[in-house]
Amino acid sequence: MEQLYGPIRDYAWGSRSALAALQGRPVPSDGPEAELWLGAHPGAPARVDRDGTRVSLLDLLAADPGHWLGAQVLDRFGPRLPFLLKVLAAEAPLSLQVHPDAEQARIGYAADRSRGDGHRNYVDPHHKPELLVALTPFEALCGFRDPTVSAAALAGFGVPALAPVLAALDDGASGLREAVRLLLEWPAAERAGLVGAVVAAPVTGPDAALVRDLAARYPEDPGVLVAVLLHRVRLAPGEAIWMPAGNLHAYLRGTGVELMAASDNVLRCGLTPKHVDPVELLRILRFDVLDDPVVSARPVVPGLVTWPVPVDDFVLYRFAGSAGSAAVPLPVPGPRVALCVAGTVTVGDDAGRVTLRCGEAAIGTAGAGPLVVEGPGDAFVAAAGLR
């Protein structure tokens, strides 16, 4: 293992305190800090020390993929690290978004490249399923809830213009597609009036509070009303949500550790000043009703848990140690990234041992033997999910 230095992305929705506090830097930071990236994604690769110089992990991996990835990961995913570990710190809502599956990403990327007009929905040919584990109380919108519940919430605003949307929702799950289409394709000249009428309705409750909070930032965006169709999830620290391909979601606020397939394919439909493509989003969006988006941790051995997910791009473990507790071996045969989120931990393999303080990370190669974690701290370990 050796220390890994990740870049911070300064998106406008980021926090000026969460990442700085995690890494022991002065609070507030000079500007918003949204995500700490710990991987080899071309958009912002992490770095490691080489002879006093910090070198891009992307360049090192390209020079010797077999050493870093091992034969099994290289055969399955090609010469790239298949996962990206992040710390996400949201001070304001992110966009309503969905990610493609592997086949949709492959076809969409090829189609975007063939057009040659600079327009991009797909920036790479890979899917982007995501798992997020809360470090602080965390709020998100994730997956469609029962349409009858959503219809009752929208009807409660008493806005006549929503009648076609309510009629679609009366058809249950089969009407979700039409309800979402109607909202996303609402005439541009009428959007501010629709959102304004809903906000002005004399209604209280969680749905009304959500609409008013989102409308304060996006007063002409029908995505404010699409949000009412989704589960509003409140995670306690340690709880997780899983975002598979086709799942409509948006993070609202909080700090969490996020592990995803190494892709940056995002289709947006609202709550953002960025490019939106409702037509393409509707094509790949899945309209299944999600009973419960929360994923429970599963114990592995004392002091170690994981969150099972149905992909082989990644697996995430959380180590919780204490003074005098035994070292914990982790079953990660391929490349691995470790991140300390509280106290101090030591991570070691045949290539070396690194003691990490809160906010520090380390990386190990596939051929470095078993990984062992110990110490009176709390750490996450990301690896490929192959067995």
- Which positions are annotated as active-site residues? 268
Distance from first CA to last CA of the chain, Å, rounded?
Answer: 21
Cα–Cα distance measured from residue 40 to residue 13, given in angstroms and rounded to the nearest whole number = 23
In angstroms, the CA 47 to CA 58 distance is 8
Other Cβ atoms within 10 Å of 49 Cβ, number: 12
Report residue 210: phi and psi, to 5°. -65, -50
User: What Cα–Cα distance (Å) separates residue 205 from each residue in 53, 156, 202, 312?
Assistant: 55, 10, 10, 40
Q: Which two tokens stand for residue 159?
A: 């806005």
Q: For residues 166 and 122, give the distance between their C-alpha atoms in angstroms, rounded to a whole number.
A: 33
DSSP element (H, E) containing 53: strand 53-56
Is the dihedral angle over the CA atoms 144, 284, 73, 113 positive or is it negative?
Answer: negative
Residue 254's beta-bridge partner residues?
Answer: 90
Largest CA distance in the chain: 68
Question: What is the radius of gyration, based on Cα positions, of the chain?
Answer: 22
